[in-house]
Amino acid sequence: MNTFEPLCQTILQYLEVWEPRLLALSEDTISGRKNSQNRSIRQILGHLFDSVSNNTHRIIHLQYRESPCSFPNYATNGNNDRWIAIQDYQYEDWNNLLQLWKYANLHLVHVIRNVDLKKLDNQWISGETSLITSREMIEGYLPHFELHLKEMEELIHK
């Protein structure tokens, strides 16, 4: 069994629960309510897509490039907010965005299940003074995912 199978199963369970929940929300709920970062559920989901997309690329790069690997960190210096704005998630078709998020996570699960375990100590340069191993990146994905699900949960009940 893959070291990360429990993590993969948890992601799959979240997708199964959250997809119908998110589809059932009203336009006002997904677009009108904002969190402390001034993000709507739509924008949080877009950010989660950016996260899964970037993490997929990092995991792949860390399996064949020299370690430590230099790969842009989209989330530093407020860039994650730039990504949200540039991609205009606030006005993205909700069903398309939801499916994009779902299927990107399904693909990430596939990538994690097939990761070369001998490459888990390969490092990514995540900042001027910070290195993160492939293992740490994979293990850190779920807490980030859950943090943003919690934010959406709070907005649903706002």
Fold of 5-156: Four Helix Bundle (Hemerythrin (Met), subunit A) (1.20.120)
In angstroms, the CA 56 to CA 110 distance is 10
pLDDT in tens, 36-60: 999 999 999 999 999 999 999 999 9
User: Which helix (H) or strand (E) covers residue 147, if one does?
Assistant: helix 134-156
Give every strand in the sheet of 123-127, ordered side by side: 69-70, 123-127, 130-133
Q: Categorize the per-residue pLDDT at 2 as very low, low, confident or very high, splitting at 50, 70 and 90.
A: confident
pLDDT in tens, 126-156: 877 789 999 999 999 999 999 999 999 999 9
pLDDT in tens, 74-103: 777 678 889 999 999 999 999 999 999 999
In angstroms, the CA 102 to CA 52 distance is 10
Contact 35, 146 (CB under 8 A): no
